[in-house]
Amino acid sequence: MPVNTINGEPYALDVQGVGRRFGEFWAIEDVTLKVRPGERRAILGPNGAGKTTLFNVITGDFPASSGTIRMFGLDVTTAPVEKRIAHGLRRTYQHALLFDGLTVAETLFLAVCGVAGGWRKILPLRRDDENRDRAIELAHRAGLGDQIDHQVELLSHGQRRQLEIGLALAEDPTLLLLDEPAAGLSPAERPKLAELLRTLPDSVAVVLIEHDMDIALQTSQSVTVLHNGRMLAEGTPQDVMKDADVHRVYVGGSHGH
């Protein structure tokens, strides 16, 4: 019987022996990950280690081929993506996946409606719609206050990444998966992102994939290292930095960033 609770409270995320296969190839295999409510966890690993695949399996973008996934005690292993979102899960995509034909406000409005309801309405959107107000607030939080009515297609790379974060912050998430949110940001944009992450409420559990080991180790209380689809190490940043296997993988050459 695996331990499913910590101090009587369920884990925010409890991944047990999860694997995902593409054809004959296991992109991740036997991954076990327990994240406490409010914990800040970094996932490290070289290119192709299976970090994004792990996120896809947790969100349900690709269902798990083996193992079980629980969120706050609820078994979501086979649940559709929307149900996991309703349960507090949000994510960003490594390569921004946005609605190019909509505006920033419309995009964030849908993200609010996706959780709060209201997307089924078929009459034209009213100016005083409550979800609209919340979307605009969200745009300001994501640093897109000046781009509210801009078409998403015309945003800069950095703004697209900010919109990804805005989508993930809609309606108070409790478990946040961020897939390399800093990738491709300019040196000027990085501190803004770090500040945003720092100001997230303590109740939010954050799992952060980050290629840059320094950033990852600074912002997280615990670290999981993946390599070739399997868990290589887990522990506090200090422990992981001392780990001989981790040194071999990172310093030993296959690090391609």
Partner 1 sequence: MRATVFLLPLALLPIFANEFWLVHIFSRALILGIIALSLTFLATYLGVVSFAQATMAGIAGYVLAYFGPNTVDVGHELPFAAAIPIALLMSVLSGAVVGLIARRSQGIYAIMITLAIAVAFFYFTRQNYSFFNGWTGFSGLRSPQIGDTALRTPVVFYLLCLGVAALLLAMVSGFVRSPMGLTIQAVRDARRRVQAIGIPLTTPIVSAYAFAGFIAGSGGILNVWYQERISSFSVGLGPIVDILTISVIGGLRHPSGAFIGAVAFVLLDTFAIDFVDRERFNTLIGVTLLIIVLLAPRGLRGLWDDTVARFGNARDGGENTGKSQQST
Ligand X SMILES: Nc1ncnc2c1ncn2[C@@H]1O[C@H](COP(=O)(O)OP(=O)(O)OP(=O)(O)O)[C@@H](O)[C@H]1O
Nearer to partner 1, 30 or 129 (CB): 129
Any residues with CB less than 8 A from the CB of 134 and at least 6 apart, and which? 112, 116, 170, 171
Contacted by 185, from ligand X, Mg ion, partner 1, none: CB < 5 to 8 Å by type: none
Helices 189-198 and 157-169: angle between axes, nearest 10 degrees: 10
Q: How far apart are CA 191 and CA 15, in angstroms?
A: 31
Compute φ and ψ for 80, nearest 5 degrees: -65, 155
Q: E-assigned strands of 112-169?
A: none
Q: How far apart are CA 243 and CA 186, in angstroms?
A: 31
Q: Between residue 23 and residue 62, which ones bind ligand X under the rule CB under 6 A? A: 27, 45, 47-53
80 binds partner 1 (CB under 8 A): yes
Nearer to ligand X, 106 or 179 (CB): 179
Nearer to partner 1, 17 or 145 (CB): 145
91 binds partner 1 (CB under 8 A): yes
Any residues with CB less than 8 A from the CB of 118 and at least 6 apart, and which? 112, 129, 131
* Given 19, 26, 35, 52, the residue binding Mg ion (CB under 5 A): 52
Q: How far apart are CA 168 and CA 175, in angstroms?
A: 10
Residue nearest to Mg ion (CB): 52
Q: Between residue 95 and residue 114, which ones bind partner 1 under the rule CB under 8 A? A: 97-102, 106-107, 109-111, 113-114
One character per residue 86-125, x = contact with Mg ion (rule: CB under 5 A): --------x-------------------------------
* Given 1, 123, 188, 244, the residue binding partner 1 (CB under 8 A): 123
61 binds partner 1 (CB under 8 A): yes
Contacted by 120, from partner 1, ligand X, Mg ion, none: CB < 5 to 8 Å by type: partner 1
Helix (H, G, I), strand (E, B) or coil at 23: coil
User: Please, is 21 exposed, middle or buried when counting C-beta atoms within 10 Å of its C-beta (0-12, 13-18, 19+)?
Assistant: middle
Region for 8 from its dihedrals, namely left if φ exceeds 0, alpha if ψ lies in -120 to 50, beta otherwise: left
62 binds Mg ion (CB under 5 A): no
Contacting residues toward partner 1, per CB under 8 A: 59-61, 80-82, 85-86, 90-91, 93, 97-102, 106-107, 109-111, 113-115, 118-125, 154-157, 167, 170, 184
Residues that bind ligand X (CB under 6 A): 22, 27, 45, 47-53, 94
